[in-house]
Structure 1
Amino acid sequence: MNPDEITQVSAGRPVVFRHATVLAMDDADAGAIDDGDVLVTGDTIVAVGRDLDAPADAVEVDAEGGILMPGMVDTHRHMWQSALRGLGADWTLSQYFVFYYLTWGKIFRPEDIHAGNVLSAIEAVDSGVTTTVDWSHGLQTVDHGAAALDALRTSPGRFVLAYGNLLGAPWEWTKSAEFRAFVDQAAPDDNVGLQLAFDVTGDPGFPERGAFEAARELGLRVTTHAGVWGATNDDSIRLMWEHGFMTPDVTYVHAATLTQDSYQRIAASGGSASVSTESEQSAGQGYPPTWELRKHGIPVSLSMDTSVWWSADLFSAMRATLSADRSREHLEAHARGETVVHNRLRAEEVVQWATIGGARALGLDDRIGSVTPGKKADLVLIKNDESPAMFPLLHPYGTVVYQAGRGDVHTVLIDGQVRKHEHRLVGANLAGARDEVAATVEYARSTMGEAAWAESITPELASTERIPNPYTYTDYAGSSDRHTASSDE
C-alpha cells in the first residue's frame, strides 16, 4: 500500500488483508486461521475466512508471514505521566507516592496533562494498542480534565478517560458543580468514554461512599487501585461489599495483596482485575496476582500503569505476566517438594487478556476486542520480514507473547482507518507531541530545581546487606603455614 492508497483508505476504500495467520480471539475461535483473509469496509470488519471475495476497489495488504489480531486494550495507564518518561526508573512505590502525591504532583498544569496524553496516545498506537484507559488522576481542576479530554479526542485511537484527582477527596470533587458540568459537556462517544478513578483507603467511615453514589447517579464505571501493599487492602474490599458497591462495573487494578475472601467477593460480584505485571514486580504492590485470579475465576485484563517507570507496550505486559505466573507455579510446587510438569497458563490465554479481556473489562466486547464480522475494525498486523525473530511462525500465540515487540507492528487500523503502515505512523503529529513534552520537562525541571530533579532521577540507595561467607579462606590464604607449604613443594 503506497501513501496515496493510505489516503484513499482513510477516505473510505475497503481494505482486505491477505494470507495472514488470523487470531480471531472471539467466542467461536477454534484457534488460529492459517492463510486467512480479513475484509474491512468503512469502520467495520465485514468478513473473516480464506480466499475472500473483495470489492474491486479494495486495497490489498500482503499479510503473508504475519499475524493479524485484534487491537490490544490497555485498561490502566497514567497517560499524563508519559511527559516524564523514565524519570522514576529506580523509584520504589513510596518514592512514587512522595513525588506525585506529596511534593510535585501539584505543579502539573493543564498543558502538561495535555502533553503527556498526546505523546502516550501516539505511543499506544505505535505498539498496537488501539484502546487505552487513561487513568488520569492528575486532574486537579476541570481545566486539567478538559485538557486531558482534548488530547484524547484529537489523537488517533480509542480511549476511556478515567477521571481522577490524586490531590482531592473523591467524595467531594465528584459532587462539585464544576465536575458535573464537565460530565455534561464531555458527551462520551464511540472513541472516547468516561469512568471515575479513585481509591478506597479502608477508612472505617467509608467516605468514598459519596464517589460511588456519584458514579451510580452518572451511570459511570469505576476503576480503583485495590490490593496495593501499604495503601489499599482487604478492608477496602470489605467496605465496598458491605455498602453494596461491588458490581460488574468495577475494575480492580493490581489486586495483588488480597486474601481469598476478597478475591471471592470480587468474583461473586462480577468485577474484573487489571494486572500491571511490570509494575507489581518492581514497585511492590504485591506479587502479580494472575495465579490467584485464575483460581477464583476473576476476569483478567492487562495494563502498563505508567511509563514514568516502565515500558508502555502490551508485548512487555504479556511476556512479564506469563513468566510471573509460571514462576509462581514453580515456586509453590517446589515448596511442596513437587515439580510442575504441565503449565496451567498458556500463551493463548494471555493474548486473550490483552485483547478481548480488556474489551470485556470496559463493557466494549460487543464492539471491539476480537476479529469478528460486525465489530469495529480495530486491527493489528504483526509482521517484520527484516527480523530473524519473526520466522518461522509455528506457534502464533507464543510468537506474540515471547517473540514480538513494538518494532514488529506493521499495520494498525482503528475504526477502519490506517494509523500505522509498514512500521511507520500515519497521520500522527509526533514532532508536535515531542515539542509539547519538551516544554513540560523544561517547566518541571526549572520549577523543581536542580537538586530535587537530580534526586528524583537518582534516589538515595539503601545500604547493602552482606551475608557472612564462611568460604572466603581469608585467614588461611594469609597464613605463614600456607606459604611454608608452598615453599616445601
Structure 2
Amino acid sequence: MASPKRTLIRCGHLVTMDGAIGTRRNWELLYVGDRIEAIAERVDQPWDDVIDASGMIVMPGLVNMHLHTFQAGFRAIGSEWLAPDYFRNFYGNAATRFGPEDNYLGTLFGALNQLNNGVTTLADYCHNVRTLEQAERSVDALVDAGIRAVFIHGDGLREPALPGALPARRLHPRERVEALQRSRFATPGRVTLALGIAGPHWADWEASLANVRLARDLGLIASSHVTRPHAAAIVPDGYDRLAAMGLLGPDHNLVHCNHLTADELGRLLDAGCTVTATTTNEFHDYPSDSALRKVMDRGHRPSLGVDVEAMVSGDLWREMQTALLFARNEGLRHGRPDAMIPVKTALGWVTAAGAQALMMEGAIGVLKPGAKADIVLLRAGDLNLFPVHDPVFSIVEQAHAGNVDTVIVDGVTRKRDGRLLVEAGWLSRLGERLRQSVARLAHESGLALPGPAQP
C-alpha cells in the first residue's frame, strides 16, 4: 500500500484559529494524506509536493451549518418573497414535486457552489425526502461534489400545503433512516448522517418526543427549526419538556431561535444545545432580531448558515459579514459597552462554532497538527484585500468568494488557481439537466419563474 502523499504549504499569512499557534507570517504547514502533520516556522520533515502560498492567506475551510442545498436550481426566484410566499410557492408546493434526480441535481450544484466559495464542511438540511431513493441520490450528490458534509435527513411533505396548514403529526420515518444507515452510510466516509426533525415548534408532542428519541436511539445528531414565538408554537413548552427529560444536549442543534426570549434560549443552551443563526435570511423573513447576541450573552458561540438560496445569497462570507454588522449594531442601539465584537469572534462563527455543533471540534474549523486537512487559500494580492495588515481583519471585513484560490478537503485539492477541478463537459451536461428539472417543477407547481418583461 502506497504511503500517503506529503504536501508542504509555504504560507504568506497563516490563520490557524488555534489558541496555541495563533496567526503567523511566513510559516509552513505540512499535511500528510488527510491530516495536518506539522505547523512551524520551518517544517523539518520530508515532503513530496509543495504549494507556494507566499502571496496568500492560508486559513481553515469554512463550515456552513445550515443550507437547504437541494433548492439551488431555484436561486433568487424569491428575492421579493416573504416567509408566507416561500411556504406557499416553494416548500409547500414546488418542493413536494421533486423526485430523486431533482434532489440530486439541486444538491450537486448547491454543494459545488459552497466548495467554490471556500466552504469545506456543509450541513445539508435536506427536508425534502419522501423515499429512500430520494435520500440516497441526495447523498450521492454530496459525495460526487467532493465536499465534507453532514447529510441532515428531513422528512418531506407528501403533498402541497398552504402556510398554516402544515401537518402537526410529523413522525420521522425510522425505517428509512435505518435503511440509509445500511446503504450509503454502511462504511465511514466524508459524508455523515444526521436527522432534521420536526420539533415542538412544528410538530405535536408525541411526534416531537418520538423524533428526538429516534436520533438518540440511532446515535445521530438532531437539528430542528425554532422559528415561532412561544404562543405560536404547536407545543409552546415542548423544548423545556424535552430538556427536563434529558433528551437535549450537544447532539441537538437549534436553527434560528430568533423569536425566543433570552430566558427561553438560555435554558436550551444550559442543556447543552448549539444554536445556528441564518441572519441574512432571518432579516429577509422575520420581524425579529437574530439570536446571535442572546447566545453570546450566555457565554456560548453561535454558528452560521445560509438557509434558503431561493431568497438570499449562498455566500457564507457575506453571511458572516452581515451577522457581525447586525450583532455590533444591536450592541450600539442598546448602548452596550461590548458593542464592538472582535473580528476574530465572527470568524469563529463560521469555523470552530460549526465544528462544535457538528461534534467535530478539533478536527475541522482549525489548522493544527492532527486536524483534518480542510484548508482554504485566499489571494492576498487581490485588489480588495491588498495590502493585508491583519489577515483576520482582511478575511472577515474584506474577503469574498472571488478571493478563494485553492480549496483542499480531506487532503484532496478541489479548487486550484481559482477554478473548481471538475470536468467542464460533465458540469455542462448536468447544468442542462438542472435547467430542465427546474422548468418542469415550476410548470407542475404553477410557479412563474422571474425574468425580463416580454415585449
Query: Equivalent residue of 1:371, what SS?
Result: coil
- Residue 380 of structure 1 corresponds to which residue in structure 2? 376
Matched, 1:391 2:383: no
- Residue 120 of structure 1 corresponds to which residue in structure 2? 110
- Residue 326 of structure 2 corresponds to which residue in structure 1? 324
Partners of 2:398 and 2:305 lie apart in 1 by: 19
Matched, 1:182 2:177: no
Task: Choose 280-289 or 124-133, whichever is displaced more.
Answer: 280-289
Query: Equivalent residue of 2:376, what SS?
Result: strand
Q: Could you tell me how far 1:119 is from its partner in structure 2? A: 0.3
Aligned residue runs from structure 1 range 70-469, under 5 A: 70-167=60-157, 174-187=172-185, 189-202=188-201, 205-228=205-228, 235-284=237-286, 286-333=288-335, 343-385=339-381, 387-427=382-422, 429-449=426-446, 452-454=447-449
Query: Residue 18 of structure 2: which of 26, 51, 54 is its match?
Result: 26
Q: Which amino acid aligns with 1:401?
A: V
Q: Could you tell me how far 1:103 is from its partner in structure 2? A: 2.5
Contact 2:205 2:235 in 1 (8 A): no
Alpha carbons of 1:422 and 1:233: their partners in 2 closer, same or farther (altered >3 Å)? farther
Query: Equivalent residue of 2:366, what SS?
Result: coil
TM-score where L is the length of structure 2: 0.89
What are the Cα deviations for residues 435-485 of structure 1, in whole angstroms up to 9, with x where unaligned?
231121121233234xx315x789xxxxxxxxxxxxxxxxxxxxxxxxxxx
Partners of 1:242 and 1:170 lie apart in 2 by: 22
What are the Cα deviations for residues 111-142 of structure 1, in whole angstroms up to 9, with x where unaligned?
11101110011111101100101100011222
Partners of 1:82 and 1:140 lie apart in 2 by: 19
Q: Which amino acid aligns with 1:324?
A: F
Partners of 1:285 and 1:197 lie apart in 2 by: 25
Alpha carbons of 1:442 and 1:227: their partners in 2 closer, same or farther (altered >3 Å)? closer
Contact 2:57 2:380 in 1 (8 A): no
Alpha carbons of 1:295 and 1:341: their partners in 2 closer, same or farther (altered >3 Å)? closer
Query: Equivalent residue of 1:195, what SS?
Result: strand
Contact 1:256 1:285 in 2 (8 A): no
Q: Could you tell me how far 1:92 is from its partner in structure 2? A: 0.6
Partners of 1:233 and 1:302 lie apart in 2 by: 26
Partners of 2:294 and 2:379 lie apart in 1 by: 34
Partners of 1:22 and 1:264 lie apart in 2 by: 35
Partners of 2:11 and 2:137 lie apart in 1 by: 42
- Residue 164 of structure 2 corresponds to which residue in structure 1? none
Partners of 2:217 and 2:169 lie apart in 1 by: 13
- Residue 68 of structure 1 corresponds to which residue in structure 2? 58
Partners of 1:383 and 1:360 lie apart in 2 by: 28
- Residue 481 of structure 1 corresponds to which residue in structure 2? none
Q: Could you tell me how far 1:51 is from its partner in structure 2? A: 2.3
Q: Could you tell me how far 1:397 is from its partner in structure 2? A: 1.4
Q: Which amino acid aligns with 2:133?
A: D
Q: Which amino acid aligns with 2:258?
A: A
Contact 2:11 2:29 in 1 (8 A): no
TM-score where L is the length of structure 1: 0.83
Q: Which amino acid aligns with 1:430?
A: L
Q: CA RMSD in A?
A: 2.4
Q: Which amino acid aligns with 1:434?
A: G
Partners of 1:275 and 1:194 lie apart in 2 by: 21
Q: Could you tell me how far 1:408 is from its partner in structure 2? A: 0.3
Matched, 1:49 2:40: yes
Alpha carbons of 1:95 and 1:111: their partners in 2 closer, same or farther (altered >3 Å)? same
Alpha carbons of 1:166 and 1:355: their partners in 2 closer, same or farther (altered >3 Å)? same
Task: Choose 393-402 or 202-211, whichever is displaced more.
Answer: 202-211
Q: Which amino acid aligns with 1:374?
A: G
Answer with 1 or 2: which has the greater Rg.
1
Q: Could you tell me how far 1:233 is from its partner in structure 2? A: 8.5
Alpha carbons of 1:78 and 1:20: their partners in 2 closer, same or farther (altered >3 Å)? same
Partners of 1:112 and 1:323 lie apart in 2 by: 36
Task: Choose 283-292 or 208-217, whichever is displaced more.
Answer: 283-292
Structure 2 unpaired stretches of 5+:
159-166
Aligned length, in residue pairs: 437
Query: Equivalent residue of 1:39, what SS?
Result: strand
Contact 1:88 1:457 in 2 (8 A): no
Partners of 1:357 and 1:413 lie apart in 2 by: 20
Partners of 1:44 and 1:232 lie apart in 2 by: 45
Matched, 1:16 2:12: no
Contact 1:300 1:353 in 2 (8 A): yes
Q: Could you tell me how far 1:275 is from its partner in structure 2? A: 1.1
Contact 1:90 1:457 in 2 (8 A): no
Alpha carbons of 1:67 and 1:93: their partners in 2 closer, same or farther (altered >3 Å)? same
Q: Could you tell me how far 1:61 is from its partner in structure 2? A: 1.8
Contact 1:267 1:297 in 2 (8 A): no
Contact 2:122 2:150 in 1 (8 A): yes
Partners of 1:300 and 1:350 lie apart in 2 by: 9
Contact 1:75 1:302 in 2 (8 A): yes
**Identity level (%):** 27
Higher helix proportion (structure 1 or 2): 1
Task: Choose 10-19 or 68-77, whichever is displaced more.
Answer: 10-19
Q: Could you tell me how far 1:172 is from its partner in structure 2? A: 6.0
Q: Which amino acid aligns with 1:365?
A: E
Q: Which amino acid aligns with 1:189?
A: P
Structure 1 unpaired stretches of 5+:
1-9, 334-339, 459-489
Q: Could you tell me how far 1:173 is from its partner in structure 2? A: 5.1
Query: Equivalent residue of 1:137, what SS?
Result: strand
Q: Which amino acid aligns with 2:383?
A: P
Contact 2:257 2:277 in 1 (8 A): yes
Alpha carbons of 1:432 and 1:45: their partners in 2 closer, same or farther (altered >3 Å)? farther
Contact 2:226 2:254 in 1 (8 A): yes
Q: Could you tell me how far 1:243 is from its partner in structure 2? A: 3.9
Q: Which amino acid aligns with 1:396?
A: P
Q: Could you tell me how far 1:231 is from its partner in structure 2? A: 5.8
Q: Which amino acid aligns with 1:182?
A: L
